Amino acid sequence: MDMRATTAADAIAVEERWCARNYKPLPVVISRAKGVWLWDTDGRRYLDMMSAYSAVNTGHGHPRILAALQRQAEQVAVVSRAFHTDRLGPFLARLCDLTGLDGACPMNTGAEAVETAIKAARRWAGTVKGVARDQAEIIVAHGNFHGRTTTIVGFSSEAEYRDGFGPFAPGFCLVPYGDADALAAAITPNTAAVLLEPIQGEAGIVVPPAGYLAAVRRLCDQNNVLMILDEIQSGLGRTGRWFAHQHEGVKPDGLCLGKALGGGVLPVSAFVARRDVIGVFKPGNHGSTFGGNPLAAAVGLEALIVIEEEGLVQRSAELGEHLRRRLHALSSPLIRDVRGKGLWLGLEIDPARVSARAVCEDLMRRGVLSKETHETVIRLAPPLVITREELDWAVDRLAESLDALATSPSASVPAPA
């Protein structure tokens, strides 16, 4: 059976025939990418304002990362953790030095890093804090998005993420995001950890009130509770700091990392934590066949080096402020809010006027690719290697789109040449 697609429509049809319908992609078929640019099967070029949910912070096909990938693949790619390798130690040492934490458990996807954090927190509660067996509780926030496993969706506040996937694991307590008083009231002697995103991504780039993370840190210290932050999307330069929690000067006890850690070419993640937390794992407790494989370790290390040596954190801070100023200057009646930090901004659209999906579809026709969340917010998160000129070009296209849709929500433009 020949499944080769000859047109974009063919490619979409083949994918929809054989792939689970668990995504609703824009009707564009990407066949090539470089830096901040994507090309479809017809050769049309688009500016990437999505970065694969921050997985492509260093840009598509970064030459140094590709070179590291090829060098390591030619040596050894996967042997499992049944054996030591010469790549894993240097990668995790660099990661721990960067975070200021003491040890790490390498995994593959962000959800796996979060699952590792949950297991570590529960085991720490029993072995270090003295919580009775199987009684440990973890406090999470409304609007959270930590992954798609059954445990994680079980403590989501989003009905769509939970629908039909129960029964769910107990041991989680939901509190309003950004409300330190509600968090304080939820802490009990059985509380093992507080698990939060310092900025909520999937919820629509939601930034908590100033001082919230510092208040969480104080509450955790006062009650012998772990502060675990999920920086899978917000980390590694995305918000104009290496990690979003650094905007408030706090230090977590555990940190979930992923996405950009794979340099845009591989799934690489890790749970990084202080010594008494990461030390709860013993041989046989936890593992992953591919987690920490030498190919992933080589790529992860090079991704960290590229972010540092190319000054991408500072670039995100500077260009993020420029992007914020330009968005505020648009003054479109369709815009309800602009929020975020660094090169991670959410543009909230008035749903009574037009859907965020309609704006993303119109932007696609103008040569800019992004994605809506909850039909109300457009994510603006380009690779951190973007230039000011490229960023301005994207905002100019956004301005055109908003003007056209404000006049006529059904307006459209020809596909880009």
pLDDT at 4 over 70: no
Which tens digit of pLDDT belongs to each residue from 332-342? Answer: 999 999 999 99
* Annotated catalytic residue, options 230, 243, 341, 371: 230
Which tens digit of pLDDT belongs to each residue from 202-215? Answer: 999 999 999 999 99
Q: How many CB atoms lie within 10 A of CB 322?
A: 14
pLDDT at 19 over 70: yes
To the query of whether residue 145 is one of the catalytic residues in this protein, the response is yes
pLDDT at 415 over 50: no
Which tens digit of pLDDT belongs to each residue from 258-315? Answer: 999 999 999 999 999 999 999 999 999 999 999 999 999 999 999 999 999 999 999 9
Q: What is the DSSP string of 199-217?
A: SBTTTTSBPPPTTHHHHHH
* DSSP symbol at 60: B
Q: Which two tokens stand for residue 343?
A: 């090169």
Backbone CA torsion sign across 64, 70, 76, 81: positive
Q: What is the DSSP string of 285-297?
A: TS--SSTT-HHHH
Which tens digit of pLDDT belongs to each residue from 99-153? Answer: 999 999 999 999 999 999 999 999 999 999 999 999 999 999 999 999 999 999 9
The per-residue pLDDT for 133 is 96
Cα(76)–Cα(283) distance, rounded to whole angstroms? Answer: 24
The per-residue pLDDT for 1 is 47
Query: Please, which pLDDT band fits residue 408 given cuts at 50, 70 and 90?
Result: confident
pLDDT at 353 over 60: yes
Cα(115)–Cα(108) distance, rounded to whole angstroms? Answer: 11
What is the SS3 assignment for 368? Answer: strand
pLDDT (average), residues 23-30? 95
Q: Which two tokens stand for residue 184?
A: 């304080």
* Annotated catalytic residue, options 145, 172, 243, 290: 145
Which tens digit of pLDDT belongs to each residue from 54-86? Answer: 999 999 999 999 999 999 999 999 999 999 999
- Phi first, then psi, for residue 292 (nearest 5°) are 75, 15
* Annotated catalytic residue, options 91, 253, 259, 341: 259
| % of the chain beyond a pLDDT of 90 | 95
Residues whose CB is less than 8 angstroms from the CB of residue 282 and which lie 6 or more positions away in sequence, other chains included: none
The per-residue pLDDT for 410 is 61
pLDDT (average), residues 238-255? 98
Domains and CATH numbers, the chain: 8-58+312-407 (3.90.1150.10), 63-309 (3.40.640.10)
* Residues 150 and 168 sit within 8 Å (Cβ to Cβ): yes
Q: What is the mean pLDDT of the chain?
A: 95
The pTM of this model reads 0.95
The per-residue pLDDT for 12 is 94
Cα(186)–Cα(196) distance, rounded to whole angstroms? Answer: 14
To the query of whether residue 251 is one of the catalytic residues in this protein, the response is no
pLDDT (average), residues 374-390? 96
pLDDT (average), residues 183-192? 98
To the query of whether residue 97 is one of the catalytic residues in this protein, the response is no
